[in-house]
Amino acid sequence: MRADLQTPVTSRENRPLRQNAGFGIAYGALLVLGHTLIHPVIVLALYVSLISDSYLLVGLVPALATGVAVLPLLFGAGSRPGRAGGRATGVWAGIIRAAAIGLLGAAGFALGDGKPQALLLTFFITYAVYNLASGFANTPMVDITAHFISADRLSRVLGQRTVWGAVMGVVVGYTIARLLGDGEDAPATMAILFLLAFVALSLAAYVAAMVREPHRGDGHVTSLGHPLSEAPHLLDNDYFRRFLAFRAFLSLSAIADPFYVVFAYRQLGVPIDLIGLYVAALTVGRFAANLIWEPLAARRGNRLVLQMSALLRMTIPLLVLALPPLLRWSVIADRGLMDGRTLAYAFTLVFVVYGVSLSGQALANMAYLLDIAPEAERPAYSALLNAVLAVVAFVPLVGGLLLERFGFQFLFLVAFLIGFAAVLSSGALHEPRFLRPTPLLSRYDLLTRSRRARG
C-alpha cells in the first residue's frame, strides 16, 4: 500500500525533470539554429568581406566571437554555481542577444549596401553586444542543464542535441543556398539570415524562461582576479603548463580561419550559394564526429583525441593550398572532371575536416583539464586557461594584416606551421587515464564555474 501511495508523489516530483529535459533539448536545438545562421567563420566573415575590402575587419569577426564572450568572467559573472536566479540572468541575456541580431537585420534592410561604413559600424557594435550577452547567458543555462536535469536524462538531452544540431546544420545550409541562389544584393539577402537568427534566438530565450528552476541558496561568485593572482602557483603544475602551451598553439592556428571562405569566393570563384553547403558540411561534420570521438576518448583517453584534432586542424591550410592545383592537374582535367563547380564542391572537404577537428577539441579540451587539475583548484585552472585563450582569440586580426601584406598563400603557410607546432606540442602532453575519472555532472559543474568562450 505504501509503495502505491508513493507512486503519484514520485511521478509529480519527476515531472519537472522531464519537462526540463524537453526544454533542454529544444533550447539547444534553437541555439544551434540561431548560431549557425550567423556562423562567424563562414557567414559573417563573408558578409564583412562583401561590404569591406579590409581583411583586418574580416579577422575581427571570429576574434569578437571568441574573445568577447569571456568578458563576463572579468565582472565576476562567469562563475555562479548553485546561485539562485540563474535562469533570470540567462533569460534576460538571451533576450538581449536576440535583440542585438534583430537590430542588425533591421539595419541591413534600412541601410543596404549603399552606406557600407554605417553598416559596418552597426554590425560590429551589435555583434559585440551579441557575444557579450552570450557570455552572460551561457553559464547559468549550462548550470541549469547540469543541476536540474536528472543524471539519467542528461545523456539523452546531450544525444538529442547532437542529432538536432546536425539536422539544423542541413536546414541552415539549404536556407542559405536558397536565399543566396540568385547572387544579387547579397548583403541585403544576408539581412534575412539575421532576422531568421533573431527568431530562433528569441524562441530559445522563451524556452529558457519555461525551464523550472527550484529554489536554491545563493552560491559563491568568483572572478578572474584570484586565479590570475595564483598563476605562478598554477603554472608549477607540469601537466597544466604543457597543456596550456598546446592550447595556445592550437588556438593560434586559427589565424586563417575566417579567410578560407573569402579565399574560396574571391580567388576560386565559388558561387555564393555554395556557402550554404559549406555551413552544412561544417555543422554536420562537427556533430557527427562525436560518434567517433566519444568512444575513442573512452578507450584511449582524451590526449589522443586532442592529438588527432590538432593533426586534422594542421591539414586544413594544406587542403586549401593543394585542392586547386590538384584538380587542375592534367590527369584529372583531361578526363573532363574539372568543370566550373567541381572545385567548389571539392572545397567542401575543408569545412568537413574543420568541423571534425572542432568536435574533437570541444569534447576533449575541458575533459583533459578536469583530469590533470586538482579537484579543489579546477575553477582556478579553467579561469586562467580561458584568460590566456581570450587574448589568443584575437590572432585572426594578425592574419588579416598578413593577408593584406603578403597574400593568401603566405597566410595559409603560416597557419600550417603554427598547426605543426601544435601537433608537436601535443606530443608533450601527459596521458592522465590513470587518474580517477571525473563524473559527467562534475564536468558540467566546472563549465558553470568557468565557461570557455563560445565557439
Count of other CB atoms within 10 angstroms of residue 75: 12
At 439 the pLDDT is: 45
Q: Is the pLDDT of residue 434 over 70?
A: no
- What is the mean predicted confidence (pLDDT) over 273-294? 90
Nearest Cα to Cα of residue 206 among 429, 2, 445, 26: 26
The answer to whether the CB of 45 falls within 8 A of the CB of 259 is yes
Count of other CB atoms within 10 angstroms of residue 118: 12
Q: Rounded to an integer, what distance in angstroms lies between the CA atom of residue 103 and that of residue 431? A: 47
Query: Who wins on pLDDT, 76 or 432?
Result: 432
Residue 301 grid cell: 583517453
In 3-state terms the chain splits into helix, strand, coil percentages (rounded to 5) of: 80, 0, 20
Lowest mean pLDDT among 30-39, 164-173, 200-209, 349-358: 164-173
Confidence of residue 162 (pLDDT cuts 50, 70, 90): low
The answer to whether the CB of 166 falls within 8 A of the CB of 290 is no
DSSP annotation of 85 reads T
Residue 64 grid cell: 569578437
Confidence of residue 145 (pLDDT cuts 50, 70, 90): low
For cell 554605417, name the residue.
Answer: 118
Query: Who wins on pLDDT, 198 or 298?
Result: 198
Q: Is the pLDDT of residue 212 over 80?
A: no
What's CA 268's distance to the chain center, in Å? 27
Which residues touch 168 (CB under 8 Å, ≥6 apart)?
29, 32, 33, 36, 283
Lowest mean pLDDT among 53-67, 74-88, 228-242, 247-261: 74-88
For the domain made up of 2-449, the CATH class stated in words is mainly alpha
At 150 the pLDDT is: 53
Query: Who wins on pLDDT, 223 or 194?
Result: 194
Q: Express each pLDDT in 16-38 by its tens digit.
A: 556 666 777 778 788 888 888 89
Q: Rounded to an integer, what distance in angstroms lies between the CA atom of residue 228 and that of residue 76? A: 13
Confidence of residue 9 (pLDDT cuts 50, 70, 90): very low
At 304 the pLDDT is: 93
At 371 the pLDDT is: 84
Lowest mean pLDDT among 312-326, 327-341, 342-356, 364-378: 327-341
- pTM summary value: 0.84
- What is the mean predicted confidence (pLDDT) over 139-162? 61
Tell me if residue 257 falls in helix, strand or coil: coil
Q: Is the pLDDT of residue 314 over 60?
A: yes
Confidence of residue 159 (pLDDT cuts 50, 70, 90): low
The answer to whether the CB of 421 falls within 8 A of the CB of 248 is no
Q: How confident is the prediction for the chain on average, in pLDDT?
A: 80
At 7 the pLDDT is: 42
Q: ∠ CA 361-287-29 to the nearest 5 degrees?
A: 115
Q: Is the pLDDT of residue 353 over 80?
A: yes
Percent of the chain whose predicted confidence (pLDDT) is above 70: 74
Confidence of residue 46 (pLDDT cuts 50, 70, 90): very high
Q: Is the pLDDT of residue 262 over 90?
A: yes
For cell 574543420, name the residue.
Answer: 354
